């Protein structure tokens, strides 16, 4: 399996903007072929230890059953539409891909 984790920092980190991105993730990024797990959420503000990286507003976690499923997702029309519609508000995007 392949874990695809994406951490978004927004130009406008207002609650409405964060909620809009979470909603867009659910609309465009869930339900792709080969997805074993999908989760999207926000920074947990209660967890503030020295080891916590808190430089994000929205976290997306998608676990694929294979690298092939991940690769197909990257070029899927819904994924590309998500990027096109939401990218203007992205201050920084960090992607972490790991074999599981």
pTM for this predicted structure: 0.95
Give pLDDT, residue 1: 98
Question: Which DSSP string corresponds to 12-40?
Answer: S--HHHHHHHHHHHHHHHTT-TTEEEEEE
Q: Does a structural domain hold residue 87?
A: yes
Q: What is the CATH number of the domain that holds 20?
A: 3.30.70.100
Q: Does a structural domain hold residue 50?
A: no
Q: Does a structural domain hold residue 80?
A: yes
Joined tokens for residue 69? 């499923």
Q: Does a structural domain hold residue 81?
A: yes
Q: Does a structural domain hold residue 49?
A: no
Give pLDDT, residue 78: 98
Q: pLDDT of the chain along its 100 residues, tens only?
A: 999 999 999 999 999 999 999 999 999 999 999 999 999 999 999 999 999 999 999 999 999 999 999 999 999 999 999 999 999 999 999 999 999 9
Number of domains in the chain: 1
Give pLDDT, residue 44: 95
Q: In which domain, by residue range, is 86 found? A: 2-44+56-99
């Amino acid at each position: 399996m392949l874990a695809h984790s994406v951490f978004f920092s927004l130009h406008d980190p207002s609650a409405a903007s964060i909620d809009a991105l979470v909603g867009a993730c659910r609309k465009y990024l869930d339900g792709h072929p080969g997805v074993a797990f999908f989760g999207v959420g926000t920074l947990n503000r209660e967890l503030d230890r020295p080891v916590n990286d808190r430089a994000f507003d929205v976290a997306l976690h998608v676990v694929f059953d294979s690298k092939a499923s991940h690769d197909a997702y990257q070029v899927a029309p819904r994924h590309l539409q998500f990027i096109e519609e939401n990218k203007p508000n992205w201050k920084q995007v960090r992607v972490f891909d790991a074999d599981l």
